[in-house]
Copies of this chain bind each other. A is one copy, B any other.
């Protein structure tokens, strides 16, 4: 038996809770440097720090918000750098979040000795490597299929030559599965609006990217036996499908007669765009219609969907489906008067519910206070500012179009939000679970009046 190699880092850094933010900070730093190189820009732009920093953060956190037009500001080389940053960022978040999940819970249906390392609080690179390989293979599989489908359609209907069609197909497939919202077009995917052969493959890739690796891994081997799925997989699968149907139906109903979106379109166009409207806020970021033109009710629904986000250890952001559904189960248990929080034939420890509530409330505080900041820094209304901040926090990448017009200080707020949204929820959840202390003594209880 080979002695596994260790990460050549001090143990305090190799701790997965710290590894996550440090990895992403490093990636953002090098991404910014690369994007500042002359060949990354097109035209006669002089190097500007803030656009490079913003774009690097947006790419590494797989968000997709952009203060400059990806199609015209960056050269093809710059676009390739963005593509690489998104791919590394997506791979990184899936792998590190999965490692952290194993490190903490150890019950994701994967056979690995990693759990035994939990007491040592050090990640063993020899044991993590097979996991990274599986994650990478899963990503390559989904992205390759999507790229082929998109390329064929691009070649037959939009681009006259194969190289352009392949470049667009690969770029959009990588963006879709990584839930990143960058586009080679200056209008995102508006020019493909209603084209089901483009929108549906992109939406499917976004959907699977947002499910998360632990669930995909469990489904891969056990999709025929739903009764034996873990609670985590069950919550994620049914939650994702439920939110997809809810989002798509609500979007279609609300926008059915809006002349700026679905009003003048045929039934097929409405269905395709409805599916997109239900999937993209969690947390794609490509749009074939203008989010500035939807009804205010639709904008609010989008904010709620973005805030909930996707599955754990996925490329999606938000507070995550499991966190959201746990809150619902807490309410349900309380309404029924049940002493335990039960899901199926399993109970959830009160401490787990408390962590979920803390994550959700801290997220609400973060989004609310930064929305407040954005309103102080600009003249935008509450709904537009809230949409932008939620999109950044949940690393969605949708916008009502205000991102390029934000002043530098507001851009920095969005940068911080994207970073905290990407690594903050995961690192916080990990840190909270790992630092739980056992009670040493009990204080006398007292009951304040509630309500």
Contact = CB atoms under 8 A, between A and B. Distances in A.
A348 B445 contact: yes
A330 B436 CA distance: 14
Interface in A316-373: 319-320, 322-323, 326-327, 330-331, 333-335, 337-340, 342-343, 345-359, 361-362, 368, 371-372
A93 to B, nearest CB: 12
Contact of A451 (B351, B375, B428): B428
Contacts of A230: 446, 448
A296 interface: yes
A439 B347 CA distance: 12
A157 interface: no
- Sort chain A's interface into a size bin: 35 or more
A337 B435 CA distance: 6
Contact of A447 (B107, B330, B450): B107
B438 A339 contact: yes
Of A299, A343, A372, A449, most buried by chain B (CB within 10 Å of CB) is: A449
Contact of A347 (B231, B355, B376, B442): B442
A444 interface: yes
A101 interface: yes
Nearest to A230: B446
A105 interface: yes
A346 B443 contact: yes
B320 A375 contact: no
B352 A350 contact: no
Interface in A92-124: 101, 104-105, 107-108
Given A331-B358, A339-B437, A450 B326 contact: yes
B436 A339 contact: yes
B382 A296 contact: yes
Contacts of A297: 372, 375-376
Of A230, A333, A382, most buried by chain B (CB within 10 Å of CB) is: A382
A64 interface: no
Copies in the complex: 2
Contacts of A333: 354
A358 B450 CA distance: 10
Main secondary structure of the interface of A (DSSP, over half): helix
A432 interface: yes
Contact of A446 (B334, B346, B361, B445): B346
A446 B107 contact: yes
A313 interface: yes
Contact of A432 (B312, B337, B429): B337
A375 B214 contact: no
A4 interface: no
Interface of A: 101, 104-105, 107-108, 214, 230-232, 235, 296-297, 299-300, 304, 312-313, 319-320, 322-323, 326-327, 330-331, 333-335, 337-340, 342-343, 345-359, 361-362, 368, 371-372, 375-376, 381-383, 425-426, 428-430, 432-433, 435-439, 442-451
Given A319-B451, A342-B443, 15 more contacts: A101-B449, A214-B449, A231-B446, A231-B448, A300-B371, A300-B382, A331-B357, A331-B358, A331-B361, A331-B362, A333-B354, A339-B351, A348-B447, A352-B447, A433-B450
16 contacts: A231-B446, A232-B449, A296-B381, A300-B372, A320-B451, A334-B355, A334-B432, A339-B438, A343-B448, A345-B444, A347-B442, A348-B445, A357-B357, A381-B381, A429-B450, A433-B450
Closest 5 CB pairs of A and B: A429-B451, A312-B449, A347-B443, A425-B451, A337-B435
